[in-house]
Amino acid sequence: MTDGSFSVLISVYENDDPEHLDEALRSIVEQSVEPEEIVLVADGPLPSEIEQTIEKFTSAHPNVFTLIQLDSNQGLGIALQTGLKKCSHDLVARMDADDISEPHRFETQVSYLLSNPNIDVVGSNVGEFYDNPDNIKNVRKVPSSAAEVRSMAQFRSPTNHPSVMFRRSSVLEAGNYRSYRSMQDYELWVRMLSQGYTIENIPEVLVKCRASNDLYERRGGVKYSLLELEIQREFLRMDAISRVTFLRNIAVRVPVRLLPNSLRSLIYRTFLRDGVETNEETSRI
């Protein structure tokens, strides 16, 4: 029986901004319901400025933080895979090192999961900002119901990774995060859905995410296109999508990865922020 205790899982690496990390950690420890544990994975050696930021918080909250040091940069998939195994509580909230959780985020999600024991993962909408977190430029909306989540998952990730809280037992049973450096969350959600787990989203902004040209640049290029192809092949192999959907996804998604960053950024901001994609064929997930 799950109680209201929960862990927060966060990964940090050498290129993270120490000031952004400070804001992210502050938004965690100043929640209306505070976490019993914060598992922070250092994905490889960190510069002294980041180490000093971490030391500030661990000194102020010595019984809350669990630090895990990886010898070299392994990528987000391995970092989260390692960190999740160390989490002490069944409810686990994800958080990125440069995002900001709304003060009531954890209270809202813990209450939701306690009231809905059939839900394995719950995410939310996120607000995107550039310099000022009070000036939201875009809202990255996701579907709320389990049926809509299953439908969207055939085409793109059905929840915002930095916003999720999930049941550790469910994620581990489904196979945990895998070693992908990108899209590790999308692969996990589709795998969980294909195994019968349930994902929903709360239709409000619970996390503020930083948006920049670097964000869209990381989602492009030949390497990312090849990863896209690999992920879609994996979905087809697990029978999560049909061959028609596989071909449709490759035809739509891969060219976007190869566009110049300015055009890819425009597409993400214009077409991939609102609404729920639907599929007329029978969902396989």
How confident is the model at residue 46, as a pLDDT? 98
Q: What value does the mean pLDDT take over residues 237-260?
A: 84
How confident is the model at residue 131, as a pLDDT? 87
| pLDDT grade for 221, boundaries at 50, 70 and 90 | low
Average pLDDT of the chain is 89
For 73-108, give the DSSP string: ---HHHHHHHHHHH--SSEEEEE-TT-EE-TTHHHH
Which residue's structure tokens are 């875009």?
138
With a pLDDT cut of 70, the percent of the chain lying above it is 85
| Position 220 pLDDT exceeds 80 | no
Are the CB atoms for 79 and 127 separated by under 8 Å?
Answer: no
How big is the CA angle at 112 (ends 108 and 115), to the nearest 5 degrees?
140
| Position 98 pLDDT exceeds 80 | yes
Rounded to an integer, what distance in angstroms lies between the CA atom of residue 278 and that of residue 154?
A: 9
Burial class (CB in 10 A: 0-12, 13-18, 19+), 21: buried
* Alpha helices in 145-275, H assignment, sequence order: 146-153, 168-173, 184-194, 213-217, 222-237, 243-258, 261-271
| Position 67 pLDDT exceeds 60 | yes
Which residue's structure tokens are 């290129």?
15
How confident is the model at residue 283, as a pLDDT? 43
Name which of 128, 190, 139, 189 is nearest 164 in CA terms: 189
Say which residues have a Cβ less than 8 Å from residue 56's Cβ, sequence separation at least 6. 22
Annotated domain spans of the chain: 6-271
Kindly report the CATH number that applies to the domain delimited by 6-271.
3.90.550.10
Least-confidence region, from 6-10, 34-38, 218-222: 218-222
Are the CB atoms for 76 and 184 separated by under 8 Å?
Answer: yes
Are the CB atoms for 141 and 125 separated by under 8 Å?
Answer: yes
CB atoms within 10 A of CB 29: 15
How confident is the model at residue 265, as a pLDDT? 60
Q: Residue 283 — left, alpha, or beta (φ > 0 → left; ψ -120 to 50 → alpha)?
A: beta
How confident is the model at residue 277, as a pLDDT? 35
Identify the DSSP state of 157.
Answer: -
How confident is the model at residue 50, as a pLDDT? 98
Rounded to an integer, what distance in angstroms lies between the CA atom of residue 184 and that of residue 172?
A: 14
Regarding pTM above 0.75, the answer is yes
